[in-house]
């Protein structure tokens, strides 16, 4: 345990933690960006009832949603080198940062797949029939008619999942990634003032989440701008 509570240490620690914020943002940006693309692909077998693939995807999503992210992180960090090692490839010295990206991408992809599945299913099938009647191919119908509407429906849940993922990135330090939490742990070791450091981290995370929430609300308003205009004109 450290000495008496020192409020000044809270504000003195923030400048020491902020330089590591970019690592947290990089983890979030890469895992969400790749996760969105992978999530769309994962949703397809369930949407179109593709045999075998549908069952594999269902088990994958169920496993990801039913296990803690920390367990998934350890499974990837310790398990992937063993699996890849069977192919004669040694990745034991790979930067832990990449194991974090892989873990969070797979985790986010499972969540996004379910979000997209529900959003795409909500689009009126009559619009697809109309698209086919004027000569659209299935691909043209998907990216010009279905996906834009589905993305607008899915966006609030995508935003919530992204914010949850931002907070989950605090676990990356557990496998050696020097992000804000990792830097915070070194400061705790050096100062023996855990409470003050954790309050500093909480302040930074809270402010970042508020900024993201404001940004996501602006994007959501932008995506729905035509709907707002239509409602006002009625």
- Average pLDDT of the chain is 91
- The domain in which residue 116 lies consists of 21-179
> Predicted confidence band at 2 (pLDDT cuts at 50, 70, 90)?
low
Over 90: is that where the pLDDT of 204 sits?
A: yes
- The number of domains in the chain is 1
The answer to whether the beta carbons of residues 171 and 77 sit under 8 Å apart is: no
Q: How many CB atoms are closer than 10 A to CB 76? A: 22
Domain of 110, CATH number, reads 1.10.3720.10
**pLDDT, average across residues 74-101:** 93
Does any domain span residue 70? yes
Classify residue 127: in a domain, yes or no.
Answer: yes
User: Taking the mean position of all CA atoms in its chain, how far away is CA 212?
Assistant: 13
Mean pLDDT of 138-152: 89
Asked whether the predicted pLDDT for residue 228 surpasses 60, the reply is no
- Does 123 fall in a domain? yes
Asked if the structure places residue 89 within a domain, the reply is: yes
Buried-exposed string 132-150: b where 16+ CB fall within 10 A, e elsewhere: eeeeeeeeebbeebbbeeb
Residue 84, in any domain of the structure: yes
* Global model pTM greater than 0.95: no
Query: Is position 93 within any domain?
Result: yes
**Per-residue pLDDT reduced to its tens digit, 25-36:** 999 999 999 999
Q: Is residue 225 part of a domain?
A: no
Average pLDDT of span 38-46? 94
188 in a structural domain: no
């Amino acid at each position: 345990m450290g000495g008496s509570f020192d409020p000044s240490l809270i504000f003195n620690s923030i400048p020491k933690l902020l330089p590591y914020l970019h690592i947290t943002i990089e983890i979030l940006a890469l895992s969400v960006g790749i996760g969105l693309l992978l999530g769309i692909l994962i949703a397809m077998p369930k949407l179109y009832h593709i045999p075998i693939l549908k069952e594999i995807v269902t088990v994958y999503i169920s496993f990801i949603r039913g296990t803690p992210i920390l367990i998934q992180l350890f499974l990837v960090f310790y398990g992937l080198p063993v699996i890849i090692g069977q192919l004669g490839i040694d990745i034991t010295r790979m930067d832990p940062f990449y194991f974090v990206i892989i873990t969070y991408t797979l985790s986010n992809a499972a969540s996004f797949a379910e979000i997209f599945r529900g959003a795409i299913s909500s689009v009126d099938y009559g619009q697809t029939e109309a698209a086919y009647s004027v000569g659209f191919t299935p691909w043209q119908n998907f990216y010009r008619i279905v996906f834009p509407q589905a993305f607008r429906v899915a966006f609030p849940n995508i935003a919530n999942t992204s914010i949850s993922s931002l907070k989950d990135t605090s676990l990356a330090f557990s496998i050696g990634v020097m992000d804000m939490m990792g830097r915070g742990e070194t400061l705790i070791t050096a100062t023996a003032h855990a409470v003050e450091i954790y309050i500093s981290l909480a302040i930074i995370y809270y402010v970042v989440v508020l900024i993201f929430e404001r940004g996501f609300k602006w994007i959501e308003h932008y995506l729905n701008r035509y709907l707002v205009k239509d409602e006002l004109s009625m």
